[in-house]
Amino acid sequence: MAIRLAVVGLGKIAQDQHLPAIAASADFELVCAASLQGESPRGHTYRAVDAMFAAEPSIEAVSLCQPPQVRFEAARAALLAGKHVLLEKPPGATLSEVVALTELAQEKGLTLFAAWHSRHAPAVTPACHWLEGKTIRSATITWREDVRIWHPGQKWIWQPGGLGVFDPGINALSIATKILPPFHLTEGILSYPSNQAAPIAADLRFATFDGVPVIADFDFRQTGPQTWDIRVETEEGVLLLSKGGSEMRIDGVAQSLPHEAEYPSLYARFAELIAAGESEVDVRPLRHVADAFLRAGHVEVEAFVEEEPGRQTVPA
């Protein structure tokens, strides 16, 4: 029997990834959705989570795909209503709320799954295997994308708690925390546009416990070719993950990998956790982001306006 699922928040990530993955999954059946905007491809679309739970008691699980600033209340309501919960990344707007939800899920015997989709990229598990037992000299994370292409109209990303460039950067950190030994921030600089409440770029220096450098360069201002690379230098050779973990090279040689299936793999994992009666909440990627906000210096940079100036110009 498929698990009866509702989606909350029919924004870009739900449309692009969640709905297709759910439609293709034998483990889940979409029952309905709750969203301020948009329409569910199946069942009714509620405008409030509480109304949805009241009207559709057969829902067994929910996927929360809204911006992080409003996710806690929906997660709390879902757990109190006895539903299993998948949290899109980042799992919350604060660490403390994620800890509180984790405790509630445990108390209620429900599954809470803090999903890190990038960990399900094709190269991540092979990279873990290749790095096993090797001596790492350094790691460099370069995550540079054009915010206008990948986050069109997502105003929440620039608001407090929206994380700015850490919204993609946390994907890199979710992979790095999976494949590298533990590391912690030692210094950094966050670049804030003069008109925005979240950073557009971050230069971060981490170190492993033994002092191995882990450098991260996150930038939302990349035009032209986009870069989502993690390069790990070891005494035994160089590992390069590129395109967000969908390609992998060892000493320059491309490795054969399974096809990309991040979200189908996430949902398979969610079903597995529900069947096992377990939760999976790894806060480390979000903790690194919180540490960066706590520890790094700030610089002010050029204002960011989503519409390029040229487009707004009225011809003379």
Interface contacts to a second copy, rule CB under 8 A: 72, 76, 93-97, 99-100, 103-104, 159-161, 182-185, 187-188, 197, 209, 284, 287-291, 293-298
Give whichever of 137 and 298 is closer to a second copy, judged by the CB atom: 298
Shortest Å, Cβ 186 to a second copy: 8
- Rounded Cα–Cα distance for residues 216 and 132 (Å): 22
Shortest Å, Cβ 187 to a second copy: 8
Residues found in the chain? 316
Residue among 76, 172, 178, 147 nearest 304 (CA): 147
Shortest Å, Cβ 72 to a second copy: 7
Give whichever of 16 and 103 is closer to a second copy, judged by the CB atom: 103
The answer to whether 29 and 269 are in contact (CB under 8 A) is: no
Shortest Å, Cβ 269 to a second copy: 24
Residue type present at position 221? R
Neighbouring residues of 117: CB distance < 8 A, sequence distance ≥ 6 = 17, 88, 89, 171, 262, 263, 266
Shortest Å, Cβ 98 to a second copy: 9
Give whichever of 13 and 170 is closer to a second copy, judged by the CB atom: 170
Shortest Å, Cβ 304 to a second copy: 15
Give whichever of 182 and 315 is closer to a second copy, judged by the CB atom: 182
Residue pointed to by tokens 């996430």? 266
Q: How many Cα atoms occupy the beta-carbon half-sphere of 85 within 13 Å?
A: 32
Residue type present at position 54? A
- Active site residues per annotation: 89
118, 134, 169, 214, 240 from 247: Cα distances, Å: 12, 20, 18, 20, 8
Give whichever of 249 and 284 is closer to a second copy, judged by the CB atom: 284
Give whichever of 21 and 77 is closer to a second copy, judged by the CB atom: 77
The answer to whether 11 and 162 are in contact (CB under 8 A) is: no
Stretch (H or E) spanning 215: strand 213-219
Shortest Å, Cβ 313 to a second copy: 30
Structure tokens at 57: 């008691």
Residue pointed to by tokens 């929440």? 156
- Rounded Cα–Cα distance for residues 226 and 20 (Å): 25
The answer to whether 184 and 207 are in contact (CB under 8 A) is: yes
Structure tokens at 53: 């739970």
Give whichever of 197 and 276 is closer to a second copy, judged by the CB atom: 197
Residue among 80, 47, 43 nearest 66 (CA): 47
